[in-house]
Structure 1
């Protein structure tokens, strides 16, 4: 294969092979546990033209402009544009007030780090609440919950049923956040992406296909 591409292989009890090109141009391949590497390699080779085309599509996407942290600049919170309000304040805390992100000017030298910290704290509070809500109705209890900073995924469920969520997820609309929460909670019961898994997800979030499509189309914009 002529493509220089990093590949992550995930084996599970699924019965079919699946391939996905991530936003960072790496490949995610899902395969049955006992399938040989030779067969997996043949499967990837068979998708070489698809991979090339998808990489070209990714490369043509405009990168979100880096924020300058200027008065009135917009930042997404739960899918809504919130304008930055620079203030002189004795407090060194960022606050959300209506549709304004109130940002103390003394934090400007470390603006990106300070706002990232605020987003992480906001994500921890909001996502924890949504996990509790769905965990109760889905009867899926996670062992722990962490807010992380991966570039490659929005959430994950560990072997011990620990849930991890990307802090950038709270930039997305509420229904997209809920989809990722339901998706990861469903992995507590099903450690694969087989038909049973998707039926279970669909029972609690019928719009999962639209949510997945939204993340593929717009997920790269959730950053600053």
Structure 2
């Protein structure tokens, strides 16, 4: 078996051959020596960077020819992924900064009065009234806590009616939670804990899209047979939400532009 030094040398030869050929720009790709079944595999991540994985022994020119033949496809993949890349905004925690709740705009209003954050109606629209001292002490955590609290209240109000429709006469409704999932997905069902959890940024989206995520996780809670997102799963979603697939597409697109907690 080749040594790691030999692998590194081969990877550098292939990298340089690709750069010299001009098919891929230096810095836009990497070369990895792999023991995969296929001699050459190219993957593209969401930033548009390519990884060329090769199984030795292999001639650098063979890799160059393979990549050149795939150049148009690689460009299409990079462009497609670029449109899917998150564009999460960075917010300032100052008066007038815009946030959303269930798709409705609201402006941040910092008050010197103590007390929990609250959403109130104002002459020119909705305000999210937050203690300035709390923001100075805890930053964005004050707002994410508010989303968790209000999001959980929304889920607890809406889940029972959806659960009765999606699981009539079945087991009890699963537990519900809203928190920072630390992942890109909007919700997750923990089968062992029998709990559906939702990522707090979800509740910036319109209610129809939040309903889709709620139904999605409740469908998992019915424990349909087959694959996690197989035919039986989707049959249960569509039974109560015929436009579930459409809402899923809209949710995924909208998710790219929601605030996930970054501030400046």
Residue 3 and residue 132 in structure 1: after superposition, are their counterparts in 2 closer, same or farther (change >3 A)?
farther
CA distance in 2, matches of 1:117, 1:206: 33
Q: Deviations over 1:3-55 (max 9, x none)?
A: 89xxxxxxxxxxxxxxxx99899xxxxxxxxxxxxxxxxxxxxxx94754443
Conservation of the 8 A alpha-carbon contact between 2:187 and 2:198:
yes
Structure 1 match to 2:128: 101
CA distance in 1, matches of 2:238, 2:118: 35
Q: Deviations over 1:74-115 (max 9, x none)?
A: 1010000111122221x2311011211111221231231111
CA distance in 2, matches of 1:24, 1:76: 27
Deviates more, 1:177-186 or 1:158-167: 158-167
Q: Does 1:179 align with 2:206?
A: no
- TM-score, normalising length from structure 2? 0.61
Report how many residues are paired: 183
Residue 69 and residue 23 in structure 1: after superposition, are their counterparts in 2 closer, same or farther (change >3 A)?
farther
CA distance in 1, matches of 2:152, 2:206: 16
Structure 2 match to 1:168: 201
Residue 213 and residue 219 in structure 1: after superposition, are their counterparts in 2 closer, same or farther (change >3 A)?
same
SS of match in other structure, 1:221:
coil
Structure 2 match to 1:157: 189
CA distance in 2, matches of 1:214, 1:24: 22
SS of match in other structure, 2:256:
helix
CA distance in 1, matches of 2:109, 2:115: 14
Alignment map for 1:51-70 (pairs within 5 Å): 52-59=78-85, 63-70=87-94
- Listed as ranges, the gaps of 5+ residues in structure 2 are 1-28, 32-43, 49-72
Alignment map for 1:54-93 (pairs within 5 Å): 54-59=80-85, 63-89=87-113, 91-93=114-116
Structure 1 match to 2:166: 138
CA RMSD of aligned residues (A): 2.8
- TM-score, normalising length from structure 1? 0.71
Displacement over 6 Å in runs of 4+: 21-25
